[in-house]
Amino acid sequence: MKLSWRVILLWTLPVLVIGFFLWQGTFGNATGELGKNTASTRMTYGRFLEYLDTDRVTSVDLYDSGRTAIVEATDSQLDDRIQRLRVDLPMAAPELIAKLREANIPLTAHPANKDGAIWGLLGNLIFPILLIGGLFFLFRRSSNVPGGPGQAMNFGKSRARFQMEAKTGVMFDDVAGVEEAKEELKEVVTFLKQPERFTAVGARIPKGVLLVGPPGTGKTLLAKAIAGEAGVPFFSISGSEFVEMFVGVGASRVRDLFKKAKENAPCLIFIDEIDAVGRQRGAGIGGGNDEREQTLNQLLTEMDGFEGNTGIIIIAATNRPDVLDSALLRPGRFDRQVTVDAPDLKGRIGILDVHARNKKLAPEISIEMIARRTPGFTGADLANLLNEAAILTARRRKEAITMLEINDAVDRVVAGMEGTPLVDSKSKRLIAYHEVGHAIVGTLIKAHDAVQKVTLIPRGQAQGLTWFTPSEEQGLITRGQLKARITGALGGRAAEEEIFGSAEVTTGAGGDLQQVTSMARQMVTRFGMSDLGPLSLESQEGEVFLGAGLMSRSEYSEEIASRIDEQVRVIVENCHDDALRLIRENRMVIDRLVDLLIEKETIDGEEFRQIVAEYTHVPEKEQYTPVL
């Protein structure tokens, strides 16, 4: 825990002041007690005895229980003037009193001041008292810090944030691109505000809503909108906050959370990333009394157990629904599962409109054009895109965001930061042929997506890039489109082989070959697009648990595995031959495009297609509408 300088000063000043007064009380009191006792010079005890023997001592005052004496004596060297001298007496000097009495020297003994003893006692006690007080102060401050030492007795208490009326600043109007999910959740708000509309016809309020979707699609944002719209007590907590190293803490926090919720019903509980605590039970090897499983058991009981939780609606979010326990997903616990998927074109337009409210856009910018260029982007991706464009605009000292900043921001988000352009060399020419190979094959195959841009400007790990933009939202992909994508991905390697020879091929096609192999294998094993027939030979999702992976058996024989490898090789080889043929037949236009690309470093899709059309027929890209 960090202490501010004000707190340190607040504690240091009293200590210094008290110490000063104690010093004054202990030592300054002696000064007051000695008063006249304070002499300018000191005298040794032996010298004092010499003065006593020569009758120079005129009076003696004893202080400090006989340990100190103030002596008045005459000095012949100073014309017999009387001077006051201080003498420290030894502890055992009984003969001194007798000598003083024999010499008839006035002797006065001053009793010790009791106040000095009290101050001395306080001086001895003040440091322990300040130490205990400081520790108490630190303990009190740390008790307000989550996880601090003061929380030792509160491990079992729920750490959920509670608000009587959650003012998140987010309403349903601020959420776009997930209209179906919004409609489902608006009903939850209506349940809370006007339950009689549903109970009058015998409808039961749902106990739980599970938001499922990829990261960045707006699950947590929807929960904030529900909290902002509902106007009822709202608890929010993350699934990982139930997990502790101590046994029983997670279950205790679940009990405490629902106890507080029942006291404030009707209310909402939002559990973010519920997969942290809701994973399948018994997934490990050998079982065991897993603390996380006990927490899940308690959550299951509280959601729909013997007592029930009337008036409490639980909203949970996860991007891993496949790992959740089946008992958690059944009706009665999570009655509804709302899928929050990546937005379509209309949804992206709505999201961009929301995030563009506080951005200064140039008049020529078209939100629809940006949405068409960003298929597959989630709401978080689109928000980041406009933010990157705004940063680039400020860096370039422009007053408004233009399409140039938008295009650069898309490239940066998708491929990474822009690198230093390559100098004209053999390596740059080879990369140019590689990228033009991708683009020419993609342009001349009818089923392939249209080329948007070809560039030699490095981004991320790529030395050059060829961008393709789908002409529509593709929910279903045909066999022809998959083979077209494989052929287009092999266009770069085919150009290297055809132009420079097989001995000069580079490692630049490594990522392309991984993509090609994956698509071809899925065609054979999942989509039934090979000579093996309409068979699904692999599950759609891999095993996510160690134990489940060890227990699973192979879904096909070794003979089928060999045939799968053969079919994958046949598909890739056929597409590779097609790519080589297209490169060979269009060598003249490829050379011209490479020279232009080296000169300009970037060619947009429209200019690319116009140049290719001067040499050969460019097929028109068709919209594919599947018949269901």
Catalytic residues: 435
The answer to whether 243 and 292 have CB atoms below 8 angstroms apart is yes
Closest CA to 110 of 60, 73, 74: 60
Q: Which residue has the tokens 């309409």?
A: 534
Other Cβ atoms within 10 Å of 619 Cβ, number: 12
Exposure string (b/e) for 86-112, b if CB count within 10 Å is 16 or more? bbebeeeeeebeeebeeeebeeeebee
CA 401 to chain centre: 29
Which DSSP string do the residues of 385-449 spell out, in sequence order? HHHHHHHHHHHTT-SSB-HHHHHHHHHHHHH-SB-PPPPSSHHHHHHHHHHHHHHHHHHHSTTSP
The answer to whether 427 and 396 have CB atoms below 8 angstroms apart is no
Q: Across the strands, what pairs with 237?
A: 271
The answer to whether 536 and 526 have CB atoms below 8 angstroms apart is yes
Contacts of residue 221, Cβ cutoff 8 Å, sequence gap at least 6 = 170, 174, 175, 379
Distance CA(491)–CA(504), nearest Å, equals 15
Measured between its terminal Cα atoms, the distance across the chain in Å is 64
Distance CA(156)–CA(146), nearest Å, equals 12
Contacts of residue 43, Cβ cutoff 8 Å, sequence gap at least 6 = 51, 71, 85, 86, 87
Q: Is 611 exposed, middle or buried (0-12, 13-18, 19+ CB in 10 A)?
A: middle
Measured on CA atoms in the order 176, 177, 179, 185, is the torsion positive or negative?
A: negative
Distance CA(311)–CA(205), nearest Å, equals 8
The answer to whether 36 and 83 have CB atoms below 8 angstroms apart is no
Q: Which residue has the tokens 């907590």?
A: 237
Tokens encoding 459: 């981004």
Helix (H, G, I), strand (E, B) or coil at 617: coil
Q: Across the strands, what pairs with 466?
A: 454
How does strand 41-43 pair with strand 81-88? parallel
